[in-house]
Structure 1
């Protein structure tokens, strides 16, 4: 059943479902009067891919940045792995962050480093005890997972937009995260490459048993990847359901995403 109302409480835990992310009454205002989040409530179950839709400026990216502490909310509760991340000290928060992969819109690769160096930098930063041979093995495995083993010595400037997204994803996967947060993973890509990235997200879920939140404007990506969709409007969750349920919504604003 689709829920379409101003404030939606998190879904009741269903049998055999384990919430891995729980957000309650999340609020964030920028400046004096730019109230972006006005009480967001959501739950993501273990192994689930949740897609969040919304117009530009609706707070989609702000929500997932709050989860990893890149943005501090004004109010609310965020529980990840049953830990309230807003109450954690820096060392404890960093331990949680290692278990969460974040794929930024542009891939966020270091332009002055080769692909190998980009991945090695991330790995050594968090796993300093690895030998050079182990680092190389992990790099090759991560690149193989995204189908770009032959790009290991290339510079970011030599890669297409789609390849940069794949390398960004490889850098995320190299730490073997349990949760992956995707921020507009197909933005700026052509239709064929966008589908390849969407299929890769789905493949990673099945291979790695990851849990994901996917922020996207790309309805083809949403249709392919989403177990469930939430729609943000005016700072709250306005509607929730599967792709098929929301596609048939009688709410004009919700249905506008599917036209």
Structure 2
């Protein structure tokens, strides 16, 4: 049974200004009969961390890739900052993407570039009027924000999995996005490093007042970061609430995520 609930009041004081992301009746089918999304509805408020849970293949990553235009849905609306991104031109969509950071599972660094070059390349692609000194300052600031200022001259091959995630996050932060989409930010990391990444997600929200969607299988990450949790099942939002509420939910399937 779909458990539609009133939206839970988020923890953050900055979430009372209406949704910064609104998804309405989102559908997506791949091929002839591989239907992934069957009418997803969700909102994210300013300054809120929303965690999306679901089994593998449930459409979690598809949902956030639709938000940045990496996947085009078959039906529905995706409003970001009040604008339906599906109606934007390519140029307008690119302008919108600058405000939306996306942390891929792998960190998605360019292996042939140093850490400095990875971050500089991203910055120059969007802010071409910056001087060399300004670029260097922004790169250092972004690296220090994730605690890796001393890794500036390293190559990706010299970094641990946790460090790659942090550098990927620094590259996202360098454009000072208002929204960050995290796709499995702690996957493949040990318990201590996973906790450090979760703490970093919280720190970024508190300091930069970002809104975030966090796709994760890591329940420790979900418990630490979530203001609100939504659970995807069979292509729709099946349940919604705080970690504590869903942990005690009457639905055995929902509770299974918390065991």
TM-score by length of 2: 0.96
Q: 1:130 to 1:184 in 2, by over 3 A?
A: same
The answer as to whether partners of 1:50 and 1:230 remain within 8 angstroms in 2 is yes
Give the gaps of 5 or more residues in structure 1: none
Could you report, residue by residue, the CA deviation over 1:226-254 in whole angstroms, capped at 9, with x for unpaired residues? 00000000000000000000000111100
Please name the residue that 1:250 is paired with.
250
Could you report, residue by residue, the CA deviation over 1:9-29 in whole angstroms, capped at 9, with x for unpaired residues? 984999933210000000000
Could you report, residue by residue, the CA deviation over 1:131-184 in whole angstroms, capped at 9, with x for unpaired residues? 000000000000000000000000000000000000000000000000000000
Please name the residue that 1:214 is paired with.
214
The answer as to whether partners of 2:230 and 2:240 remain within 8 angstroms in 1 is yes
Q: 1:47 to 1:210 in 2, by over 3 A?
A: same
| Aligned-residue RMSD, C-alpha | 1.6
The answer as to whether partners of 2:16 and 2:46 remain within 8 angstroms in 1 is no
Map residues 96-245 of structure 1 onto 2, 5 A cutoff.
Answer: 96-245=96-245
The answer as to whether partners of 1:26 and 1:41 remain within 8 angstroms in 2 is yes
TM-score by length of 1: 0.96
Please name the residue that 1:39 is paired with.
39
Could you report, residue by residue, the CA deviation over 1:36-88 in whole angstroms, capped at 9, with x for unpaired residues? 00000001111100000000000000000000000000000000000000000
Q: 1:27 to 1:155 in 2, by over 3 A?
A: same
| 1:5 aligned to which of 2, 5, 14 | 2
The answer as to whether partners of 1:10 and 1:43 remain within 8 angstroms in 2 is no
| Partner-residue secondary structure (3-state), 1:24 | strand
Q: 1:10 to 1:57 in 2, by over 3 A?
A: farther
Aligned residues: 255
- In 1, distance between residues paired with 2:213 and 2:8? 19
Give the gaps of 5 or more residues in structure 2: none
Q: 1:190 to 1:12 in 2, by over 3 A?
A: closer
Q: 1:12 to 1:54 in 2, by over 3 A?
A: closer
